[in-house]
Structure 1
């Protein structure tokens, strides 16, 4: 019985890597279904994503042989089950458009997710969560209780075995310690075209500057606020007549679409970290 796999890797660039990887899989009965690679000439790094089917080896045996294969190339590699939805926890505050969009896409079969829980510092969306049969955790946050609230959030994430945490307009700044624990698996949507208008109230900042384009940015969460590796961005055109409320309303659709794309690409293992940047095999 063949199993579907996705192999992602990066290593110092050198001739013959694609040939070596394809040969390794061929020798073990692997059938490549999709492959993409990228050479970063600035850093000298090579990136590759391969989706393949293989039935000759168990997943554990395949990983063991991949480990030996990867050592001479100094590869940083990951082997993922190709048909396994990604266990996900979504965090939200009082703006629910991104949450609603993700839940609808998930139930429509458009996202390869297994949404295990929704965590919020407000109770606003417990009925929405219930309508999708997703457990809802209300974890109130104040300046005095922030450490305890983060501990509870992490408890939910670990209990659900979450491989992905989505901050879908979760208006809380995570501590440096929690950011480190979630490194590479937490995605935030920022309602601005970063690096412009970081921090709080970006639509107010944009209105004050009289911008003609507003945007949204999905990025990985790091300890540096709104500076994590960018996954996806998009913009909407506005003009001088837009109020802050108009900008906010116009931006909601952009935020939802940008976050959904980033979540989809991450859940399909199409995003590889390249320092403070990303490589995305769409």
Structure 2
């Protein structure tokens, strides 16, 4: 097997204060180790005192056994000497993505289908839902399905059960139209990034019936936004967005159908990019390579 998922391919993600010599240092370390750089993308917010970001894909023979030594060298050269943050990962290792869902199936089934086809390089160890409706669909993909009902006034108990399933078992949580607000305590304790998808009418059409209200206002575009989840509802760093044109002729069900199409595409892109280490978070924003 060859290509970016071969066991000897690695990814190095670097970020921090921009200064001369970062690219040369990264290239020098990898060259000294005998690695061959396959691709290199970089960006800076300002070459004079701005923020620097870089994603490098490289090939290094026997990478799994040499990963610890390379990481130690990078810690010295990038971390201690240049004050940069970095992540070194094996490209072959699929991120474990738990999917949380309620009753809407379009984003969930699209992700499972793309994962099965190899379009999204991830493993799905479980799907967790507050409703039992999609259990048979999920089990059809040979993926465990866990029904964790969220009782009125008893969200804390449900979140505790969800955390028991998730903690230590996943690398990212994907909310594929999970229609419950996650508490700040849950987000702090789960210990991994959480990605959400929502229609882009927010905040203009918050709450129930957004497409009906959008129709009443005569919208000409519907869209979707995928973002990382923070304590501030729907205010997390944005990963991907897209829109599609609609017409005054479109009834509400057609607006909903077109909106679902955009949601599927936007979420699948965001998850795929995250799993390929293309998204670098920096405060309230992101850099996507």
Alignment TM class, shorter chain as reference: over 0.9
1:30 corresponds to: 35
2:52 corresponds to: 46
Work out the CA distance in 2 between the residues paired with 1:148 and 1:279: 36
Classify the secondary structure of the residue corresponding to 2:125: strand
1:185 corresponds to: 193
Q: Say if 1:199 and 1:225, in contact at 8 Å, map to a contact too.
A: no
101, 104, 107: which one aligns with 1:98: 107
TM-score normalised over the length of structure 2: 0.91
- How far off its partner does 1:279 sit? 0.2
Work out the CA distance in 1 between the residues paired with 2:60 and 2:205: 47
Work out the CA distance in 1 between the residues paired with 2:231 and 2:205: 17
1:236 corresponds to: 244
Question: Within the alignment, does 1:225 sit opposite 2:233 as a pair?
Answer: yes
120, 126, 137: which one aligns with 1:117: 126
- How far off its partner does 1:208 sit? 3.6
- How far off its partner does 1:146 sit? 0.4
Classify the secondary structure of the residue corresponding to 1:58: helix
1:157-185 alpha-carbon deviations (Å, 9 max, x no partner): 125x2111100000000001222345761
TM-score normalised over the length of structure 1: 0.93
- How far off its partner does 1:210 sit? 2.0
RMSD of aligned alpha carbons: 1.9
Q: Which runs of 5+ in 1 are unaligned?
A: none
Work out the CA distance in 2 between the residues paired with 1:229 and 1:200: 24
61, 73, 76: which one aligns with 1:65: 73
Question: Within the alignment, does 1:202 sit opposite 2:210 as a pair?
Answer: yes
Work out the CA distance in 2 between the residues paired with 1:200 and 1:17: 49
1:4 corresponds to: 9
Q: Say if 1:216 and 1:255, in contact at 8 Å, map to a contact too.
A: yes
1:247 corresponds to: 255
Q: Say if 2:159 and 2:186, in contact at 8 Å, map to a contact too.
A: yes
Residues 264 and 196 (structure 1), Cα distance of their counterparts in 2 relative to 1, 3 Å cut: farther
Work out the CA distance in 2 between the residues paired with 1:2 and 1:210: 52
Q: Say if 1:2 and 1:53, in contact at 8 Å, map to a contact too.
A: no
Q: Say if 2:173 and 2:192, in contact at 8 Å, map to a contact too.
A: no
- How far off its partner does 1:3 sit? 2.3
User: Greater CA deviation, 18-27 or 204-213?
Assistant: 204-213
- How far off its partner does 1:275 sit? 1.7
Q: Which runs of 5+ in 2 are unaligned?
A: 1-5
User: Greater CA deviation, 105-114 or 241-250?
Assistant: 241-250
- How far off its partner does 1:205 sit? 4.0
Classify the secondary structure of the residue corresponding to 1:94: coil
Work out the CA distance in 2 between the residues paired with 1:53 and 1:276: 32
1:32-83 alpha-carbon deviations (Å, 9 max, x no partner): 1111000112971100001112237621111111111112211111111111
- How far off its partner does 1:122 sit? 0.4
